[in-house]
Chains A and B, each alone.
Chain A
Amino acid sequence: MSSATAQASKTNWADDVEDQEFPSMEVITNADGTKTVIENRLNEDGKRVRVTRKIQEKIVQEHVNRAVAERKQWAKFGQLRSDGTAKSSVATTIGEVVELRLSQYAAQMKQQEIEAAEQEKAAAVKSSKILCRVCRGEHFTAKCPYKDTMTSAEDILGGGAAAPAAEEAKAGGPNAYVPPHMRAGAKAFGAGGRAAGSLGAGDARGDGRRDENPTIRITNLSEDTLEADVNQLCRPFGPLARVFVATDRSTGYCKGFAFVSYYDHESAEKAIAKLNGHGFDNLILSADWANGGK
Chain B
Amino acid sequence: MRPLLLQGHERPLTQIKYNRDGDLLMTVSKDKIANLWYSHNGEHIGCYVGHLGALWTVDCNKTSTLVITGAADNTARLWHAETGRMLHTWDLPTAVKRVEFSHDDQYVLMVTEERMGHKSGIYVFAIGISRPEQSDEPIVILRASGAKPTVAAWSYLDKFIVSGHEDGSLSLYDWRNEEVVQTAKAHDSIITDMQMWKDGTYFITSSRDMTARLFETATLEPMKIYKTDAPLNTATMTPTQDLVILGGGQAASEVTTTSSRQGKFESRFFHKIFEDEVGRSRGHFGPINTLAVQPDGKGFASGGEDGLVRVHHFDPEYFKFKYDY
Q: Which residues of A contact B (CB under 8 A)?
A: 64-65, 67-68, 71-72, 74-79, 87, 89-98, 100-104, 106-107, 110
CA distance A76 to B45 in the complex (A): 5
Q: Give 9 new A-B contacts, CB below 8 A, not counting A71-B82, A79-B44.
A: A68-B21, A71-B23, A72-B23, A78-B84, A91-B7, A93-B7, A98-B1, A104-B274, A104-B278
State whether B82 touches A102 (Cβ < 8 A): no
State whether B276 touches A92 (Cβ < 8 A): no
State whether B279 touches A78 (Cβ < 8 A): no
State whether A78 touches B47 (Cβ < 8 A): yes
Summed over the interface, the residue pairs from A and B with CB atoms below 8 Å come to a total of 114
State whether A67 touches B64 (Cβ < 8 A): yes
**CB-defined contacts of A76 to chain B, threshold 8 Å:** 44-46
Query: Any chain A CB within 8 A of the CB of B130?
Result: no
A interface majority secondary structure = loop
**CB-defined contacts of B315 to chain A, threshold 8 Å:** 100
CA distance A143 to B44 in the complex (A): 52
Report B6-48 residues with CB < 8 Å from chain A CB: 6-8, 10, 21, 23-24, 35, 37-38, 41-48
**CB-defined contacts of A106 to chain B, threshold 8 Å:** 276-280
CA distance A101 to B6 in the complex (A): 23
State whether B5 touches A100 (Cβ < 8 A): no
State whether B321 touches A102 (Cβ < 8 A): yes
State whether B46 touches A77 (Cβ < 8 A): yes
Query: Any chain A CB within 8 A of the CB of B118?
Result: no
Query: Any chain A CB within 8 A of the CB of B53?
Result: no
Identity of the chain A residue whose Cβ is nearest the Cβ of B50 in the assembled complex: A78
CA distance A104 to B281 in the complex (A): 15
Identity of the chain A residue whose Cβ is nearest the Cβ of B7 in the assembled complex: A91
**CB-defined contacts of A77 to chain B, threshold 8 Å:** 45-47, 82-84
Known: A103-B278, A107-B276. A71 touches B24 (CB 8 A): yes
Query: Any chain A CB within 8 A of the CB of B225?
Result: no
Identity of the chain B residue whose Cβ is nearest the Cβ of A82 in the assembled complex: B49
CA distance A74 to B23 in the complex (A): 12
